[in-house]
Structure 1
Amino acid sequence: MSNSRAAAVLTTPDLTEAIRAVRTLLSIADISQAEVDFEGVIRSPEGLARVLHVLPDLEWRASAESDNASSNAGDDPAAHLPIRVFDWCRPLEVAEPFIAALGPELAAIRWDLNAWPAVPEAGLDFISQKYAYLTLSVNSSDLYQCEPSEDHTVYVHVPDEHHIARVEWLAERVGGHRTGRVEVAPL
């Protein structure tokens, strides 16, 4: 198992601005074989209903350590709130409906890109799919939904700290900046 470094490039209370930044970064990346993954914490029956409308076969498990309820066991998620949701390998067009369904719920949406392309004029080399990711944390100030927030943060993933020039270049494209906040992200 590898890890990437997820560097925050934009934090904003405006979800529309965060989504616009994601769209810009996706227009730069090679998305020819891209997929999107979801993780989140659903705390309310209303949030659960909205998310299940978008992803009816959503995988989940109870958040409480003493509760073994899950989608795999066929349990009713509404009876076990709050729940942790996770869903992998979805088509890109599912991301924005999922984000819209969240309301105040916490989530991380990760786009698994095909590559960050080379940008010779900026001195940036190609970064393969293994380390080419983009994450939007919604209503959370971290990648793992541990710190609720009214802000939304866009993260760019790179292999290690030696790729800071890539982070800075991408941040400039979205009107952000490298904040210095970097999280290790298991891949």
Structure 2
Amino acid sequence: MSNSAASAVLTTADLSEAIRAVRTLLGIADAAQAVVDFEAVIRSPTVLADVRHVLPDLVWWASAGQEHGSSEAGDDPADCLPIRVFDWNRPLDSAEPFISALGPDPAAVRWDLDGWPAVPGEGLEEIAQKWAYLTLAVNCRDIYQEEPSQDHTVYVHVRNRNGDQVPRVHWLADQVGGRFTGRVEIAPL
């Protein structure tokens, strides 16, 4: 397992603004073979039903631990609330329905991209898939869903061969009307 630096480029109380930013960044990225990963804390039966409608074969376990219930054991998640969702490698078109199903519950949605393109006019080289991700923290201030809030934050993950990712982070923030304030979280991949 490796880690990535997730740099916050936009925080907003308007979920539609955050989704627009994600769409813009996906339009910039090489996303031909991209997939999306979900992490969430689901607390209510209503949200659970909505999420299961989007992802009927949802991968989850009880927040109290797998021994208290999990999808692997065939348990009913409604009997184990709150649950933690860790569902990986989904098609890109499942992201927005999942986000819409969340209601007030916190989540992190991560797009595993094929790369960030070169931007010659800015002196930015192409970044390979291993270092190209995009995360939207929904209803929380962090990618781990530990700080619930009514805000949503867009994070970009970039890493150059020379280790200087700050110019790309600033450039990506500019593309979505955000700004990089220096807030970075280490994200396991």
Using the size of structure 1 for normalisation, the TM-score is 0.97
1:131, CA displacement in angstroms? 0.8
Match of 2:43 in 1: 43
Q: Secondary structure at the match of 2:148?
A: coil
Aligned to 1:28: 28
| 2:170 is equivalent to residue 186 of structure 1 | no
* Distance of 2:122 and 2:66 partners within structure 1: 51
Match of 1:176 in 2: 178
Paired with 1:66 and 1:28, the residues of 2 have a C-alpha distance of: 39
Residue 119 of structure 1 is matched in structure 2 by: 119
Q: Percent identity?
A: 70
Question: Residues 123-157 of structure 1: CA distance to partner in whole angstroms, max 9, x if unpaired?
Answer: 11111000100000000100010110100000000
- Rounded to whole Å, the distance in 2 between the matches of 1:31 and 1:65 is 34
Does the 8 Å CA contact 1:30/1:113 hold for their aligned counterparts? yes
Give the letter aligned to residue 85 of structure 1.
Answer: V
Q: In the alignment, what sits opposite 1:148? A: 148
CA distance in 2 between counterparts of 1:176 and 1:43 reads 31
How does 1:58-73 map onto structure 2 within 5 Å? Answer: 58-65=58-65, 67-73=67-73
CA distance in 1 between partners of 2:65 and 2:91 (Å): 31
Number of residue equivalences: 187
Partner residue of 1:101?
A: 101
Structure 1 CA distance for aligned equivalents of residues 66 and 11 of structure 2: 34
> Following TM superposition, where does structure 1 have runs of at least 4 consecutive aligned residues deviating by more than 3 angstroms?
none
* Residue 74 (1) aligns with residue 48 (2): no
How far off its partner does 1:67 sit? 4.6
Q: Tell whether 2:166 aligns with 1:164.
A: yes
SS at match of 1:162: coil
Q: Distance in 2 between matches of 1:83 and 1:159?
A: 33
Deviations 1:92-123 (A, max 9, x none): 00000000111101100000000001111001
Opposite residue 135 of structure 1, the aligned amino acid is T
Deviation at 1:66, TM superposition (A): 8.1
CA distance in 2, matches of 1:65, 1:38: 18
| Matches of 1:52 and 1:108, distance apart in 2 | 17
Pairwise CA RMSD: 1.2
* In structure 1, C-alpha distance between the alignment counterparts of 2:39 and 2:107, rounded to whole Å: 6
In structure 2, list runs of 5 or more residues that go unmatched: none
1:57 aligns with 57
Instruction: Indicate the SS of the match to 2:170.
Output: helix
How far does residue 167 in structure 1 lie from its aligned partner after superposition? 0.3
Deviation at 1:159, TM superposition (A): 2.5
